[in-house]
Amino acid sequence: MSIFTKIITGEIPSYKVAENADFIAFLDINPNAKGHTLVVPKKEENKIFDLSKEAYTSLMDFSYQVAKAIEKTLPCKRVGMSVIGLEVPHVHVHLIPLNAMEDIQFMKKVTLSKDEFVDLAEEISKNF
Report the alpha-carbon angle 55-57-63, nearest 5.
Answer: 100
Angle at 30 between CA 58 and CA 107, to 5 degrees: 100
Are residues 23 and 41 in contact, defined by beta-carbon separation less than 8 angstroms? yes
- Measure Cα distances from 116 to 103, 104, 109 in Å: 19, 21, 15
CA separation for the pair 72, 88 (Å, rounded) = 28
Q: Is 92 a catalytic residue?
A: yes
Please list the active-site residues. Answer: 92
